[in-house]
Amino acid sequence: MITIEEAKRLARELSSVSDVGHSRVLEAAAHASGFRDWNTMAAAAPGAVPGPAAGADAPLVVPVLRVFDHAIAGSFYCDHLGFTWQWEHRFEPDLPVYAEVSLDGRALHLSEHHGDAAPGAGVMITVPDLRAYRAGLLAQAHPNSRPGIERNAWGLTMLVTDPFGNRLTFWERSAPDPT
C-alpha cells in the first residue's frame, strides 16, 4: 500500500511535469491502495495528517454528512451546537473541504465532496443530559432551531436539522421499558 506521504510526493512530482492534476493523482493513489477515494484513505491511513485520531481512543464509527458550505457548517455545528472543529483537509485552496467536528468525543465528518454522502442523512448522537443540552440551545434563540424533546421507550430524543437537511437526533439513553 502506498503511504499518504508517498502519494503526496507523487502528486507533486507528476503535477509539475504533466497535465494530470494534483487531486487526480491522489485519487489514483487511493484506488491503487484499495480505497474508494482519497478522503477514505486519508481518514483510514495511520499517520494521516490532518486526520482522525488513531489508536484505542479513536471512534469506532464516524458518520459522514454532506454539507455545501464549510463556513455555514462550522457556524451551525460549532457556534450553535457546541461541536469543536477538529481539522479540515482540501487538496487545493479552491477545492471542497472534508472536515471533522466533535462533541465530547463523538465525531462527525462533514464533506463538501460530491458523492461522499447524500444530503438529508440522519445520525443519532448520544448525550448524557438532553434537557440541559436543549436548554443551552434554546438560550441562544437561534432563528432556525427550536427543537423539542420526545420521550420514547429507548430514552429521550431531540431532532435538530442542519442547514443542509441532515437530521441530527440527540439521544439520552434510558433503561428499556419492562413491558
The DSSP-derived string for 23-58 is HHHHHHHHHHTT-SSHHHHHHHSTT-SS-PPPSTTS
Q: Which of 163, 168, 120, 171 is nearest to 143 (CA)?
A: 163
139: CB partners within 8 A, 6+ apart: none
| Confidence band for 148, pLDDT divided at 50, 70 and 90 | very high
Of all residues in the chain, the percent with pLDDT exceeding 70 is 69
Q: Which amino acid is at 60?
A: L
| Confidence band for 175, pLDDT divided at 50, 70 and 90 | low
- Give the whole-angstrom CA distance, residue 12 versus residue 21: 9
DSSP state of 87: E
- Give the whole-angstrom CA distance, residue 26 versus residue 30: 6
For residues 93-119, average pLDDT: 93
- What residue segments make up the domains of the chain, in order of their start? 1-49
- Give the whole-angstrom CA distance, residue 177 versus residue 167: 26
170: its cell numbers: 440527540
Q: Using the predicted structure, report yes or no on whether residue 105 has a pLDDT greater than 70.
A: yes
165: left (phi over 0), alpha (psi -120 to 50) or beta: left
Of all residues in the chain, the percent with pLDDT exceeding 90 is 50
Do 120 and 68 form a contact (C-beta atoms < 8 A)? no
